[in-house]
Structures are given as structure tokens and as C-alpha cells.
Amino acid sequence: MKLKSIAALSVLVALAGCGATEDDAQSISGWGTGGSYDTDDLKRDMKQYATLVAKNPQVDNGLYTDKRGHMSTPYCVGQPAFDSEWFEVSRESGVSDDEMLYVTQLYEVALGQIAQALNVTKAEILTNAYRNKLGICIRNTKGSMASGHGSESVTVKKHNHGSDKFFHLIKHEITHLVNSQYNNNQVNLSILPGWYNEGIAEFAVGSRPLSAKEWNKQATEMESRSMNNNILDGGDSSFDDYDVFATIATYLDEQGWGHGAMTEFIKKDHWHMDDAPHTDGHDHMVLSNTPEQAYALFKEDFDNQSAESQGEVTSYDQFRSNYKDLIYQWLKNR
């Protein structure tokens, strides 16, 4: 099986369409929100992170360092850096102090919610970040784009569709970073299967699964663009496919593995990097397995989770062969 697409998968997410105006409280779901959370709660939680301090000038001359992500390099590397509790932040010129603080507060709250859902401390998540801080590079643009993996996320300064959508985007990217941290992946390496990588991120922000009819239509169309006509094997995917990925992740959590299984799985997610943490610098290449070895380890963990869960998903090979029908039947009975 060819694995090229696993290394090349996209970590971007785009969102279209606005809800009501910014004045109305917008509902926010997903990990760590406790069921009835909205933008007013978000504003309250953001106030806990009201300060940014200039990075110590004795460290890297107080400047933002290269996280080897190559995403921030033209905009933030070498620029003055600022610290919040769990982030080192920098900005493209033209981003104001207020904008920088606002974006950082969203990241801090998102990280806290993910830690809460996983029932771990933030310190336990940040095992492979230089100075024990994740990087944020803020671009001087509006829009609905961000990216993130390794130990860094790059994001716009203002989201076109309001704080609820902006928070959704940032929490999605933070989920990628959490996954990277658990895999000793400090730098810009992304070799998780695309369906899992994007599925878990969309699942964490509470994206709803498709209807049975939509699933059949979108999954069939996507299979025609996938290697071996199988979504799990990867291939060309676009932002429209995130609903398919979210549906797969939600199925595994709710039905295939049993409720809560995805949070357990992400915590056991140590399948493709070496075991030694790398917190002493910012230029490590830590990939010790080939993509084939990484994929084999992913499958092994998937099999273990399947055996433990005793649900209708019994192994990776079984799921790979039957995912379309299993998910269709589940959606029909929902």
C-alpha cells in the first residue's frame, strides 16, 4: 500500500458561513464544554489569561524561534516574542497588542478544554515543546484559515465569522498540536492517517456527523478520489471531506468502540515517534519510524483499542473493509 498521502495530508481547515451577529451568544460544543457552553462563557474564561509578557531577552534575544514548521518562518521567526501561560506568541507586523492577546486567549481556553476532556494537566500534554510552550504565529490577515501541528499553530488575527467560529478553528488546530505532543513530534511532521488526524480534530470541536443519506453520497464520491477506493487509505481530500472524517470519528467513539473511546485512544497515541522526549531545543528531527512502520503501529494500537472495547469494530482490517456499511447502518438507526 502506498503511503505518500499520509505524509502530505493537509492540516488546514476552512469554515464558511456565519451564524447570528456577534452580539448574540453563540453555542459552542465539543470537548471540555460541559454541554451548555456559549460565547459568553468563552469571554469569561478568556479573562483568566489577560496578560502577555515580553519573552526574556536573555533567551534567544527575546525573539520568536523557528519551530521548524516552516509555516511561521516568513512572518514571525526573529520577531519579538511574548509569553502567555502555555504559549510563545509572535505576530506579523500590523497585528495590534489587543489582537495578539485576543487570539492567545482563545488558544489558552481551547488547550484547557482539551486537557479537561482528556483528564490530564496541560503540563502532561506539553511534553515536546521548546520552553514548555507551544508557538503561535499570528498573521496580519482576516479570514477563516489556520494550520497547526508539531508545536506550532499559525493563524489569522481576525476570523470573518465571529468568535464562536474562530474558537472552533483554533481548537481544531490545538487538537493537532496535542496529538503531535503525544507523539514526541515537536516539528512539522505529520504522518498520522488523514481520516484520523482531521476526524479527531473535528470530533474534539463537536462537529455533527452526517445523515445516513449524506454519508452515502459524500463517502462514495470521496472513495472515487481515494487510493484503493478506500477513504482510510488516503488520497486527494478537501475541506468538504472534513464532515466525512468527523462522521468516522464520531462513529468509532459512539458505536464502534463505545463512548469515550476516542479520548482513551488519543492518550495512547504513541505510534510513530521514538520514545525520547525532546524539550531541550527547537531543531530536532524526531521521526524514527518510516511511514510504513508508523502505519503498522497505528494499526496495532487500533487493534488493541478494538479488542478492549468489545464493540462492533473488531480490528483495523475489519473496519477498513466494512466502514462504509457499518457507519451507514449506525446513522440509519440514530
> Binding residues for Zn ion, per CB under 5 A?
11, 13, 198, 201
Q: What's the min distance (Å) between Cβ of 197 and Zn ion?
A: 7
Toward Zn ion, which CB reaches closer, 83 or 164?
164
Toward Zn ion, which CB reaches closer, 11 or 204?
11
Q: What's the min distance (Å) between Cβ of 147 and Zn ion?
A: 8
Give the type of residue at 255: Q
Q: What's the min distance (Å) between Cβ of 58 and Zn ion?
A: 36
Strands lying side by side in the sheet with 87-91: 53-54, 82-83, 87-91, 134-143, 152-159, 146-149
- List the one residue out of 119, 28, 141, 164 whose CA is nearest residue 74: 141
Toward Zn ion, which CB reaches closer, 11 or 331?
11
Q: What's the min distance (Å) between Cβ of 148 and Zn ion?
A: 7
Q: What's the min distance (Å) between Cβ of 13 and Zn ion?
A: 5
Report d(CA 75, CA 78) in Å as an integer.
9
Report d(CA 257, CA 306) in Å as an integer.
6
Toward Zn ion, which CB reaches closer, 194 or 258?
194
Q: What's the min distance (Å) between Cβ of 11 and Zn ion?
A: 5
CA triplet 249, 10, 163: central angle to 5 degrees?
A: 75
Toward Zn ion, which CB reaches closer, 249 or 313?
249
Toward Zn ion, which CB reaches closer, 101 or 252?
252
Tally of CB atoms within 10 A around 9: 19
Distance of CA 127 to the CA centre of its chain: 16
152 bridge partner residues: 135, 149
Q: Which residues contact 249 (CB under 8 A, 6 or more apart)?
A: 196, 199, 200, 202, 203, 262
27 bridge partner residues: 38
